[in-house]
Amino acid sequence: MATAYSRKTSEIRSAGLAIATAGLIAGTLDLAETLIVFGAKSPLVIAAGLLGMQNASRGGAPIYILGALLHYLIVFSAAAIYFAVSRRLHFLLEHWLICGLFFGVAIDVVMRMIVLPLSAMHARGPYQYHELAHGLAAHMILVGLPIAFSVQRFGSR
């Protein structure tokens, strides 16, 4: 018979594994896509959201690393949110494919409507259609799906 302590430890391990796997996969896929599409200075632009473009454009390895770390922080936070909500809304696990796609849309909307306008870059749009379509597709496939799959696969209830 499992004790309450061992069940709790098992739950914490599965949460950690699910969130870590989701964050690493989705973060790496999204960062790779960003580097390919927007170029090697993308982490500097991410850091500019915190530091401002003038400070981030001075560049250097520390600013570049900060941008990459901020990117992963955002993706790990999204994975943790999906995991936490999936504990209450079990259909997120049962229908992970469609829910992952919708979660990717939600991530893109939150980034465009809340995070970017509140960042030091104050990006508010207007956005071109191809930018919106590309962002939605990338977040749905490269972020939402890996997070939903990883939480479903590794985050046992």
Domain membership flag for residue 1 = no
Residue 122 confidence (pLDDT): 84
- The predicted pLDDT at position 57 comes to 85
Q: How many domains does the chain have?
A: 1
Q: Give residue 132's pLDDT.
A: 94
pLDDT value at position 67?
96
Task: Give the CA distances from residue 104 to residues 61, 81, 108, 140, 144, in Å, rounded to whole numbers and listed in that order.
Answer: 30, 13, 6, 4, 4
> Is the distance from CB of 76 to CB of 23 less than 8 angstroms?
yes
Is 3 part of a structural domain of the chain? Answer: no
In a domain, 81, yes or no: yes
**44, 58 Cβ separation under 8 angstroms:** no
What radius of gyration do the chain's Cα atoms show?
A: 17
Which pLDDT score, from 0 to 100, does residue 12 have? 84
pLDDT means over runs of 10, the chain (157 residues)? 72 92 98 96 94 88 96 98 96 97 98 93 87 96 98 86
* The pLDDT value given to residue 59: 80
Predicted local confidence at residue 105, as pLDDT:
98
Q: How far apart are CA 20 and CA 32, in angstroms?
A: 18
pTM confidence score: 0.92
Is residue 14 within 8 Å of residue 150, measured between CB atoms?
Answer: no
Q: What domain range includes position 25?
A: 8-154
CB 67 within 8 A of CB 56: yes
